[in-house]
Amino acid sequence: MKRVLYFVSSNEGKWREVSSELKDVAEVKWIRRKYPEIQTTDLKEVLSFGLPLLFNELLVEGYEPHPIFADDSGLFIDSLHGFPGVYSSYVERTIGLKGILKLMEGEERRGAEFRCSIGLLIPGNGGGDKMLFFEGVVRGRIGFEERGYDGFGYDPIFIPEEDNPQGLTFAEMTTEEKNRRSHRGKALRKLKEYLLKTP
């Protein structure tokens, strides 16, 4: 019998990637909601703050005490000194991809990286809860225009370096193709490896 995990996110694109990568090792149930965030430049700090609060909320609402995990990700652009970073989702909602491309008009240095941190909270039986982190990074560059219709967020302007001779954006790849190269895919495979090794 597969273990049950709760994945908390309001982002359907993240859910597609998570369910695709973990379907063989766990029954992942999607809790579709946002989690409380603090203002910090560290992805792990956001998860350390939000996951315990979420877990307690779910218990109050009558959910079983299964392990819970969430993902915090960001796009860090070299020439913008790491902006938008941990504020990536807010920046996407406010100025959008066109706003990022506008900020980079005339900029030749287009290097960037996506970073993902997955936090897993495992409730303790009579003891303290355990929090684990699984991280992934992918280097790439920002394109000059939006390309592709799959994916979500900054995928149409991010071109990963790894195993990408055609220079496709993440939005021009299938979920499986993106997972093989992406920051989230790398973090998810570390989580998967942990789940396979841990009874």
Q: Residue 115 sits in a domain of what CATH number?
A: 3.90.950.10
Buried b / exposed e over 50-80, threshold 16 CB at 10 Å, is bbbebbeebeeeeeeebbbbbbbbbbbbbeb
Mean pLDDT of the chain, nearest integer = 92
The domain tally of the chain equals 1
Percent of the chain with pLDDT over 70: 98
The pLDDT of residue 188 is 95
Amino acid type, 88: S
pLDDT band, very low/low/confident/very high, at 127 (cuts 50, 70, 90): low
pLDDT value for 35: 75
Residue 170 Cα distances to 100, 110, 161, angstroms: 16, 16, 11
Predicted pLDDT of residue 61:
94
Domain extent at residue 25: 3-197
Cα distance between residue 113 and residue 78, in whole Å:
8
Q: Is the pLDDT of residue 119 over 90?
A: yes
Question: pTM for the full model?
Answer: 0.89
Distance CA 34, CA 185 (A): 21
Catalytic residue numbers read 72
What confidence score (pLDDT) does residue 126 get?
64
